[in-house]
Amino acid sequence: MRIREVITGFCTILIAGFLWLLSRNIPLQDLKAGLGPAFFPYLLLIALTVLGIIYLIFNLFFIKDIHKERKVNHRYYWVTIAISGLLIVYAILFKYAGFIISTFLFLVFSMIILKVKWLSAIFISILATSGLYLIFITVFKVPLP
């Protein structure tokens, strides 16, 4: 039994169950067009459920934990979470504050979190932001927000 794999299998079944709930309103049969719009998602959700169950049973009973679980290095845990948060903030700012401000702020803060010296972080960020701006907006005329 491998804990991580068992959780994976369990989550697969859970996700499939959740998606079943979402699919309730899709009609299965459409008189004119043969198979209805629900046929394909249902088929896949059945497949997902069955695969999840097989995976779970397989790892619960048939696989012995020979390999040691990979050691997780908790030192970088907070860095990942911080960067994830920054990504979300970046996505929101990208829409409302426009490309230049959001990109500059994201670059500076993510580099500082990743322990680049703050002076060079600001320097590189300004350079990268203005470079991207010139290339995409001036040369390629991409209507970035």
Partner 1 sequence: MRKIFLLILMSFLLFTFLFVNAQELKAQGNFPTKEITILCGFSAGGGTDVLTRKLAQNMEIFLGEPVLVVNRPGGGGLVSMKELVVEKPDGYTLGVLLGNQFLQKYLADEVSWIDPLEEVTLIGVFNADAWGIAVQADAPYDTLPEFIDYVKENPNIKVGAGSPGSVYYWAWEALMDMVDIQLNIVPYEGTSLALKAVAGGELTACGAGAPEADSLVRSDLVKMLGISAENRLAAYPDVPTFMEQGVDFVWNTWRSIVGPAGIPEEVSNILVDAVREAFYSEDYQNFVDTQGFGALYLGPEDGMDFYRSQDTLFKSLMKNAGKIREEYK
Partner 2 sequence: MLELSDSLTLGLPLVMNASVLILAVLGSLLGILIGAIPGLSGTMAMAILIPLTYSMNPQQAFSLLLTTYVAACYGGSLGAILLNMPGTGAAIMTTLDGYPMCKRGEAGKAIGICCIFSFFGGFISALFLAFFSPILARWALELGTYEYFAVAILGLAVISYISPDILKGLIAAAFGLWLSSIGTDSISSFPRYIFGKPELMSGLSFIPVMIGLFGIGEILSSIDKGLSRGKYSSQKITGLIPKLSFLLTQVSTAIRSVIIGIFIGIIPASGPTIASVVSYGMEKRIGRKRDIMGTGAPEGLVAAETANNAGTGAAIVPLITLGIPGDAVTAVLLGALLLHGLRPGPALFIDKPDVVSSFFILLLLGNFLFLIFGLLGSRFFVLALRVPQHILFPIVVAFCFIGSYAVNNSTFDIIILIVFGFIGYIMKKIDMSAAPLVLGFVLGPIVESNLRRALVLSDGNILVFFTRPISGVIIVLSILLLLSPAILRFDYSKLKRRIVGNK
Residue 121: CB atoms within 10 A of its CB come to: 19
What are the phi and psi torsion angles at 63 (to 5°)? -110, 125
Task: Please tell me whether residue 67 binds partner 1 under the rule CB under 8 A.
Answer: no
CA 87 from centre of chain: 11
**Interface residues toward partner 2, by CB under 8 A:** 4-5, 8, 12, 15, 19, 22-23, 26-27, 30, 33-41, 44-45, 47-48, 51-52, 54-55, 58, 73, 75-77, 79-80, 83-84, 87-88, 90-91, 94-95, 99, 103, 106-107, 110-111, 114-116, 124, 128-129, 132, 136, 140-145
Which entry of partner 2, partner 1, none binds 10, CB below 5 to 8 A by partner kind? none
Q: Binding partner of residue 22 among partner 1, partner 2, none, CB under 5 to 8 Å per kind? A: partner 2
Question: Measured between alpha carbons, how far is residue 140 from residues 5, 58, 94, 137, 145 in Å?
Answer: 47, 53, 19, 6, 14
- Cα–Cα distance, 130 to 80 (Å, whole number): 27
Query: Quick one: which of 113, 129, 112, 130 has its CA closest to 121?
Result: 112
123 binds partner 1 (CB under 8 A): yes
Residue 110, binding choice from partner 1, partner 2, none, Cβ under 5 to 8 Å by partner class? partner 2
Q: Which stretch binds partner 1 (CB under 8 A): 39-47, 78-86, 108-116, 130-138?
A: 130-138
Q: Does 126 bind partner 1 (CB under 8 A)?
A: yes
Phi and psi at residue 34, to the nearest 5°: 70, -120
